[in-house]
Amino acid sequence: MLVRTRVNGEWREADVWPGASLLSMLRDDLGLLGTKNACEQGECGSCSAWLDGEVVCSCLVLAAQAEGREVRTVEDLADGDRLHPVQQAFLDAGAVQCGFCTPGMVVAATDLLERDPDPSDEAVREALSGNLCRCTGYQKIVDAVRLAASRAGGGA
């Protein structure tokens, strides 16, 4: 079936199997490989993307449900070669090891900072509670979010 969705500001169309997820449409049909596929059951957060402004697990959205809606993915963040401040903070803080969880983490962290520019540690951990990282132990990821917040002038 044909699904027409606005992805990162541009109308895109894909011919998908009716049971396909939004994640599968993004990756397999639209070639947006930044959104990662891991658990396919909403446990890991590596497929996090914005749907109508809210961060969701794209593996749990039927592609057909995104018809006519606004989708934003991790590819929307960098400006050409210039990384988004949250991406840069992840690099600078050493918050990236294998890198597989990173796009989902960056999406969840960016969403948090767009809503709350100076979040408490608890708010950071809460915002990232749906994103699993099996390498870092999370501390450097929390540091990265704090670094991004402080560079944006949002506090300490």
Q: Report which secondary-structure segment, H or E, holds 24.
A: helix 22-24
Q: CB of 125: closest distance to another protein in angstroms?
A: 9
Helix (H) or strand (E) holding 14: strand 10-15
Per CB under 8 A, the segment of 6-14, 81-89, 127-135, 140-148 that binds another protein is 127-135
DSSP single-letter state for residue 75: G
Q: Does 45 bind another protein (CB under 8 A)?
A: yes
Instruction: Give dist(CA 27, CA 14) in Å, integer.
Output: 11
65 binds another protein (CB under 8 A): yes
Q: Is 127 in the site for another protein (CB under 8 A)?
A: yes
State the nearest-atom distance from the C-beta of 81 to another protein, in Å: 29
- Phi, psi at 86, each rounded to 5°: -70, -40
- Least distance to another protein, CB of residue 30, Å: 18
Minimum distance, C-beta of residue 134 to another protein, in the bound complex (Å): 14
| Phi, psi angles (nearest 5°) of residue 46 | -70, -15
DSSP string covering 91-112 = HHTT--SS-SSHHHHHHHHHHH
Per CB under 8 A, residues contacting another protein are 1, 17-19, 21, 40-43, 45, 48, 54-57, 59-62, 64-65, 67, 108, 126-127, 129-131
